[in-house]
Amino acid sequence: MSKTFTVGCIQNCAGKDMNANLAQCDELVRDTHAAGAELICLPEYFTCLDVSSAGFEVGAWSEQDHPALAHYKALAQQLKTWLQLGSLAIKSDSNKILNRSYVIDDQGQTAARYDKLHLFDVDLSDGMSYRESDTVEPGDRAVVAATPWGHLGLSVCYDLRFAYLYRALAQAGAQFLTVPAAFTKTTGEAHWHILLRARAIETGSYVFAACQYGRHGKAETYGHSLIVDPWGEVLADGGDGAGFVTAEVDVAKVENARRSIPALTHDRPFAEPRLALGAVETDALTRKVS
């Protein structure tokens, strides 16, 4: 395995027109590849995203017929580069969709797929409400993909708030973590940088987080696609606007961080938490029971 490689994160503002989104991201992928990126990461729902009073429009297709999947498989093969397709909307066997992330190898083959586990059902302080579970069926397993540089742990957007997922991915061998997102501007301004740095520090992993920016109907996303090293240092920040960022990844830094603070090996079993009662309350409860 190569000990160093260049990763790129693309940032776009998707709308309803999938063809227009594909054309823009195609150009960005080519530019990122020309800048030396060997693994290129794209955001969640990068091919179609619009939010209205009627709900989400994310351009759902069956996996075998999805035009974006076929397009980017061909592009990966043409450029001889690895692509991490942040997520596509895939029709499931139910009447819902899957928010599915893909890793495509440099031969245009699917190396891994992951269905988003945690669904964004929230009411934000800016008045916006989201009910992802109304239209999306959650996944049921974590996924680590093998790459020429090491192991890549997959996640999507709201997964970021569930630290146990990333610990499990790292303990399963992941040295790099992907967090493609369409993080809202409200939550992004408050939490995006902090949470991504925390996930990197907690696991001693690189984090690659490609995020959409701008307005998508009623919704607004944050941008600031980040590449973070295993010590929590931000190596690249995409800011607000279309484009891409790149950074050199040194796999040895993962080994060094985990050797310096081997927290991934320090898990201990413990009893389920219970409410601790003070001495007065405990005595009273004992008298009442007896």
Residue pLDDT, tens place only, 174-223: 999 999 999 999 999 999 999 999 999 999 999 999 999 999 999 999 99
Is the pTM higher than 0.75? The answer reads yes
The angle at the Cα of 140, spanning 114 to 167, to the nearest 5 degrees, equals 75
- 101 in Cβ contact with 72 (< 8 Å): no
Q: CA–CA separation, 153 vs 165, rounded Å?
A: 10
Catalytic residue among 157, 211, 220, 253: 157
What are the extents of the domains in the chain?
4-289
pLDDT at 120: 83
pLDDT at 258: 98
pLDDT at 248: 98
Whether the pLDDT of residue 286 is over 70: the answer is no
| More confidently predicted of 5 and 93 | 5
Tokens of 183: 């993080």
Catalytic residue among 38, 48, 57, 116: 116
- 39 in Cβ contact with 175 (< 8 Å): no
Residue 290 binned pLDDT confidence (cut-offs 50, 70, 90): very low
> Average model confidence (pLDDT) for the chain?
93
Specify whether 116 is catalytic: yes
Catalytic residue among 9, 13, 41, 44: 44
pLDDT at 123: 82
Whether the pLDDT of residue 52 is over 90: the answer is no
Q: For the stretch 163-191, what's the b/e string if a residue is b when 16 or more beta carbons lie within 10 angstroms of its beta carbon? A: eebbbebbeeebbbbbbbbbbbbbbbeee
In CATH, the number for domain 4-289 is: 3.60.110.10
Specify whether 44 is catalytic: yes
Residue 249 binned pLDDT confidence (cut-offs 50, 70, 90): very high
Specify whether 157 is catalytic: yes
